[in-house]
Amino acid sequence: MKFLKKFLFGESEQEVIKLFDEHFELVKMSCEVFLMALETDDKGLLNQVCELEKRGDKIRREIALKLYSGAFLPALRGTLYKLAETVDEILDMLEDTAIDYLRLNLHLDNEIREMCIRVAKINVKMGRDLLEAFRALKTGKGLENTTLKIRTREREIDVLRNRIYESLIKKEVKNYWEGKILSDFIDHLAYISDLIEDSADLIQILNVSLR
């Protein structure tokens, strides 16, 4: 495995890399499960999103312990830990979005639902891109193209979020809380892409640091 081998001095570093790979896999899986739940309106699937978040939190703690036990050079540890935290925030946000939909028995009309599904589909692509970006960091190939795809997809979601709000303004809600819950759901769903982009930026920083 390439990953600028001069920085890989022992087993601890290899273990951290493996944990990160698992962390990014969880993001991809969580985005895919959430999309499936929206498409099928199977709220039972949303419980799986919450379980994946718990697994991700455990991985974040394991990464932190290994980093502060001496894995990697001191100059890299802060960025690596920030990356682990940001990846964990993606899983937290997916869980929050699932809870919005699950606990509050949220029902979307066809127009809003279709646009939310489009956002979730782009999130799935970005989750896969993020895993690809991390693996590109390991191999040293294709990172620029992958991070560019992530930024482009994030802008697509910004446009969709604005369109969703334009549609929401025209619709009636039963009360303030229903409107607030729906607004939070949309914000959380869209914010997933912001956190994925933040993670990709940190991977770029690591790429520069490791040169």
Please report the pLDDT score of residue 107 as a whole number: 75
pLDDT in tens, the chain (211 residues): 444 444 445 788 999 999 999 999 999 999 999 999 999 988 889 999 999 999 999 999 999 999 989 988 888 999 999 999 999 999 999 999 999 888 777 778 889 999 999 999 999 999 999 999 999 987 878 899 999 999 999 999 999 999 999 998 888 877 888 888 889 999 999 999 999 999 999 999 999 887 6
CATH class of 9-209: mainly alpha
Query: What is the identity of the amino acid at 85?
Result: E
Please report the pLDDT score of residue 59 as a whole number: 98
Please report the pLDDT score of residue 9 as a whole number: 56
Buried-state track 72-92, b at ≥16 Cβ within 10 A, e below 16:
beeebbebbbebbebbbbbbb
* CA 110 – CA 99 distance, rounded (Å): 21
Which residue is it, tokens 């978040």?
Answer: 53
Please report the pLDDT score of residue 7 as a whole number: 47
What lies within 8 Å, CB to CB, of 54 at 6+ separation is: none
Structure-token pair, residue 7: 């920085």
**176 phi and psi angles, rounded to 5 deg:** -55, -45
* CA 53 – CA 92 distance, rounded (Å): 6
Please report the pLDDT score of residue 1 as a whole number: 40
Please report the pLDDT score of residue 25 as a whole number: 98
Boundaries of every domain in the chain: 9-209
Helix (H) or strand (E) holding 111: helix 110-139
